[in-house]
């Protein structure tokens, strides 16, 4: 009779240990997924920032192009390259996106510029990177939501301290005007 009770206790202890290891690994896996998905965003931001000097060089060749617009793009690129944490990167990313939008809007007033192959190629590459960035941001936010949900629900929350995993912030759009749907009026 004693061996049966001992066997049941051993089985329960083993099951509890396996359960704990599973929860620990789940939290660590989600944390690493967040780290990796943010690194993907960082890589795309760097790739986009690397295209900016070529774009500025192409645009600056146009006579009388607005120097303030080019300066805003250059400053935003510099801020993107210097940003180290997620909040700083998000703010710099939004500033560069805004500056590039203004640059392309102003460039439309220069038909000789927009007709050049180099400008068109750079514009296409930047649009492709922006699409990839949108997907990367979405994936990052999805993984952050999964991690944060696990950290706030039972039983994973019991293992957060042991796993040394903390909640993360989602990558938010800083520009409120870009968050919502555009207003269409007829």
Please write the tens of the pLDDT for every residue from 12-47.
999 999 999 999 999 999 999 999 999 999 999 999
Total count of domains within the chain: 1
User: For residue 125, is it within any domain?
Assistant: yes
User: For residue 59, is it within any domain?
Assistant: yes
User: For residue 4, is it within any domain?
Assistant: no
Average pLDDT score over the chain: 86
User: For residue 103, is it within any domain?
Assistant: yes
Q: Whole-angstrom Cα distance, residue 184 to residue 148?
A: 36
**Structural domain containing residue 112:** 39-163
User: For residue 100, is it within any domain?
Assistant: yes
Short-list 125, 132, 70, CA closest to 100? 70
Give me the CATH number covering residue 82: 1.20.1440.20
Return the biggest CA–CA distance within the chain. Answer: 95
Q: The whole model's pTM is what?
A: 0.79
């Amino acid at each position: 009779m004693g061996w049966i009770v001992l066997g049941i206790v051993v089985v329960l202890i083993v099951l509890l240990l396996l359960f704990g290891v599973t929860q620990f690994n789940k939290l660590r896996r989600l944390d690493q997924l967040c780290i990796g998905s943010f690194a993907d965003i960082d890589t795309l931001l760097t790739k986009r920032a690397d295209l900016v000097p070529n774009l500025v060089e192409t645009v600056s060749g146009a006579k009388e192009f607005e120097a303030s617009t080019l300066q805003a793009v250059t400053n935003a690129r510099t801020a993107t390259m210097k940003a180290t944490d997620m909040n700083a990167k998000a703010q710099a990313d939004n500033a560069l996106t805004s500056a590039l939008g203004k640059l392309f809007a102003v460039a439309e007033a220069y038909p000789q510029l927009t007709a050049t192959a180099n400008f068109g190629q750079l514009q296409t590459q930047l649009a492709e990177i922006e699409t990839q960035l949108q997907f990367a941001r979405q994936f990052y936010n999805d993984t952050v939501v999964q991690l944060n949900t696990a950290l706030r629900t039972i039983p994973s929350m019991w293992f957060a301290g042991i796993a040394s995993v903390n909640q993360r912030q989602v990558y938010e759009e800083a520009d409120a005007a870009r968050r919502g749907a555009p207003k269409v009026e007829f």
